[in-house]
Amino acid sequence: MAVMGEMPSLDEECKGESSQYSDSVYKELSRLNGRINQMSKVAIVSRLKRLKLSSEGNCDVLKTRLKNYYKKQKLKSANLPTAVKLLPYYVIVDFEATCEGVNVPDYPHEIIEFPAVLVSTEQQQVVDHFQAYCRPLVNPTLSGFCMELTGISQEEVDAADTFPQVLKDFEAWLAKHKLGSKHKFTIVTDGPWDMGRFMYGQCKISGLAYPQFAKKWINVRKTFSNFYKCRRFSLKLMLEHLELNFEGRPHCGLDDARNIARVLLRLMSDGASIQVNEHIHLLALEEKSKVSNKPEGVVVPVTASNPYTIAVKVQQGCSQDAHSTILSHSDEDSTSLM
């Protein structure tokens, strides 16, 4: 006798119904999704283990995982494309920057740690990393708050190269892996701030042209929210949603990037499309950077072509700077930043 909440006929149902036409396949998938929505977590975990799939995650994550497994199987059997879009490589970046316990609105954040983690889609794992500290010039002495928050010492930044050299080293690292030449890749961040605030602000301080690789990226919070049908979460809460513990030290840029990579790899494994969903609008940004009295934490449409003005939310250790204009490729930007 079947256990309450189980779907004893689900596999047979997958095999038994016609998949000759796409409309039949999608109707069938809709029925299967309805069955999965009615399953208990215990039943879903049992099914996932039977299929040799991960059983980590809360109930919503597990349901999404199971639905996407059957979707992939059904579309494959019907010779239909799965429509999952992935690039060969992803480079996860998570900067650490100078800060005070309480920052004035125009505080010039300077990047003091430039970390990156390289994820291979084919290998489904992290294959390399880059890390360098940067010596700040505007505020060369780190605040006690900044050192405690990031774990970066004054001695480490004093001995480091300035940002222009570190950026050259990073671009050489990209070239070593033939990223952007032989292999397609894109940047992945946890939120819009790494590129829209820190990279942009640092390039202005250093008198550098904004780098090509940083003009578009994947905001993993949006991808996660859209795929698992949940609200937008911080890195800590995304990991908790997946029932994963943070590994390493929070606010160590390299450890943060490695944990973002773990989220990204789980999204890949569960069948998410992982594509660019934000890019910087440099011309509009120059205009908007003159404005200083917008409300915090709100995404505001700028034009009909969907650039958005992001008035960056003040967080612990960070302050609102000049407003960054981001062109969003998602329809989720009517919500507040988290």
Structure-token match 């256990």, residue found: 3
- Burial zone of 309 (CB within 10 Å; 0-12 exposed, 13-18 middle, 19+ buried): buried
Backbone angles phi, psi at 253, to 5 degrees: -55, -45
Question: Which of 177, 251, 279, 323 does the annotation list as catalytic?
Answer: 251
Catalytic residue status for 96:
yes
Radius of gyration of the CA atoms of the chain, in A = 22
Is 17 assigned a catalytic role?
Answer: no
What are the CB-based long-range contacts (under 8 Å, 24+) for 234-241?
234/190, 234/338, 235/190, 235/259, 235/260, 235/263, 238/263, 239/263, 241/57, 241/58, 241/60, 241/61
Beta-strand pair 299-301/307-310: antiparallel
Active-site position among 28, 96, 113, 278: 96
Q: Nearest Cα to 140, choosing from 161, 164, 159, 157?
A: 157
CA 211/CA 208 separation, integer angstroms = 8
Q: Please list the active-site residues.
A: 96, 251
